[in-house]
């Protein structure tokens, strides 16, 4: 996971996701949770990405954009739903 500054007041959190299955994953729904250094949740963001795709036995990056600088100590990405084929 990396935090990237895209431009002034625009940031992104980038996750690398690995697919160890024999099926293609697509149409992702997720929840991003940011916590401070004492494990208090200070930010949650839900979203989906209908064009996101990861081939079988491969990895892909998921970029989640934000309009403020993330000041969190840790990030957790929860995959809520995805399609496979």
Determine phi and psi for 54, rounding to 5 degrees. -135, 125
**C-alpha to C-alpha distance for 8 and 26, rounded to whole angstroms:** 31
pLDDT of 3 reads 83
| Alpha carbon separation from 9 to 4, 50, 52, 65 (Å, rounded) | 11, 25, 24, 11
Mean pLDDT by 10 residues, the chain (85 residues): 83 93 95 89 90 94 84 86 93
| Alpha carbon separation from 56 to 11, 21, 78 (Å, rounded) | 29, 6, 20
Expressed as residue numbers, the domain containing 63 is 2-84
pLDDT of 84 reads 94
What's the CATH number where 40 sits?
2.60.40.3230
pLDDT of 32 reads 92
pLDDT of 6 reads 87
Total of domains in the chain: 1
pLDDT of 21 reads 96
pLDDT of 67 reads 76
């Amino acid at each position: 996971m990396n935090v990237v500054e895209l431009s002034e007041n625009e940031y992104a959190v980038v996750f690398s996701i690995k697919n160890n299955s024999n099926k293609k994953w697509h149409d992702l729904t997720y929840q991003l949770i940011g916590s401070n250094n004492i494990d208090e949740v200070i930010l949650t963001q839900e979203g989906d990405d209908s064009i996101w795709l990861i081939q079988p036995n491969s990895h892909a990056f998921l970029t989640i954009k934000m309009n403020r600088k993330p000041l969190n100590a840790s990030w957790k990405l929860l995959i809520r739903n995805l399609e496979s084929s």
